Amino acid sequence: MQSFTMNDGHQIPALGYGVFQMTSAEVTEHLPQALELGYRHIDTANAYFNEVAVGEVVRDAIAAGAVTREDLFITTKLFPQSYPYAQCGKDIDATLERLGLDYVDLLLFHQPYGEYVAGWKAMEEAVAAGKVRSIGLSNFPIAKFQEILDVAEIIPAVNQVEAHPRWNQHELKAEMEQAAGTEVLVEAWYPLGHGDKTLLDEPAITAAARRTGATPAQVILAWHLAEKNVTFPKTLSRAHMADNLAVLDVELTPDEIAAINQIPQQPYYVIPDEPPAFTTTVMDYSQQA
Ligand SMILES: NC(=O)c1ccc[n+]([C@@H]2O[C@H](COP(=O)([O-])OP(=O)(O)OC[C@H]3O[C@@H](n4cnc5c(N)ncnc54)[C@H](OP(=O)(O)O)[C@@H]3O)[C@@H](O)[C@H]2O)c1
């Protein structure tokens, strides 16, 4: 499995399996298939309400001897209700308890609202305590990323943001590297456009698909790898899971990558400055769907 090195020296598998909008029953059914096919990187979150199921699948796979904990890279995310310093340490412990794991490989602040500046210290303490290997952010625009840098002893290892050929995040990447003085990897959410078929039909993508014999989705994932974006496409289809892993063998030419980078830019989702209601509602994560 291809990996990238994060700015804290830890490796992250370039390709993983995302479980956003999967019920616990779907995780129980589909995550074992992903592990069986060779996925070793899982992306979940407190707010996905499926961490208990993710932990059960992982612990079953370890108990069966199919994988070791060290083979796996597990990411989860805290929502703003958990950021206040006094709460953050407790909610990291509760997260590990739900997952049934001693540590996670990567823990992110999921949304750029609330007391993220105060909470960052608790994230750093969790690293020191061995509960978390790497820490990072999600959906942070550059100004709020800078607020974290201003207090950080540990620079965020990643920023997980919307990224795909129609929103390539070149500007944010350059801004983060300039501000942090080191590379900050982009992890791409909506890497395939969240099921938007018109993205797959972009002429630069279908042209590369014709030349390589890969599918348009595979071309997009190969572009992500060439752009050094970490991706974890979501799929319930075993065939798509296998197709997405096989992308590690698809190589695009510099001209194909340049053509994809000419696609007009437009995000699906604009991150508002002020918190939308869904980020401030206090949720009970013990209730797993
Ligand atoms: N941090 C955040 O705020 C945030 C937000 C959104 C997502 N995420 C993370 O990013 C992950 C991926 O995002 P996402 O699930 O929203 O979008 P996505 O991966 O871009 O899109 C998922 C869609 O792509 C289809 N698909 C997957 N593989 C395919 C293939 N080889 N060929 C054709 N279609 C394929 C799936 O359909 P089939 O089931 O039919 O394959 C599904 O409809 C999430 O699971 C989550 O881990 C994070």
Centroid of ligand 1 to alpha carbon of 211 (angstroms): 25
Q: What is the count of structural domains for the chain? A: 1
Q: Domain for residue 264, yes or no? A: no
Two structure tokens written together for 84: 């206040």
Read off the pLDDT of residues 94-114 as tens digits, 9 standing for 90 and up.
Answer: 999 999 999 999 999 999 999
Q: 87 lies in a domain?
A: yes
Of all protein residues, the one whose alpha carbon is nearest to atom 38 of ligand 1 is 235
Average pLDDT over residues 127-131: 98
Q: Is residue 81 part of a domain?
A: yes
Decide if 71 is inside a domain: yes
pLDDT value of position 211: 97
CA separation, residue 44 to residues 11, 123, 211, 219 (Å)? 18, 17, 35, 25
The pLDDT value recorded for residue 248 is 85
Note the pLDDT of residue 281: 87
273 Cβ neighbours under 8 A, 6+ residues apart: none
Mind listing the pLDDT tens digit for each residue in 46-88? Answer: 999 999 999 999 999 999 999 999 999 999 999 999 999 999 9
- Residue 93 has a pLDDT of 98
CATH of the domain at 130: 3.20.20.100
- Domain encompassing residue 177: 3-195+227-237
**244 C-beta closer than 6 A to ligand 1:** yes
Question: Is 257 a member of any domain?
Answer: no
What average pLDDT does range 233-258 have in this prediction? 96
CA–centroid distance, residue 194 to ligand 1 (Å): 5
Question: Does residue 289 surpass a pLDDT of 80?
Answer: no
Encoded tokens for 1: 């499995």
- Whether 202 is covered by a domain: the verdict is no
20 lines ligand 1 (CB under 6 A): yes
Q: What is residue 256's predicted lDDT score, i.e. its pLDDT?
A: 98
Report the nearest-CA residue for atom 25 of ligand 1: 195
Query: Is 39 annotated as catalytic?
Result: no
Rounded mean pLDDT, 238-264: 96
Mean pLDDT, all residues of the chain: 97
pLDDT at 155: 98
Query: What would the two tokens of residue 64 be?
Result: 């069966």
Predicted confidence band of residue 258 (pLDDT cuts 50, 70, 90):
very high
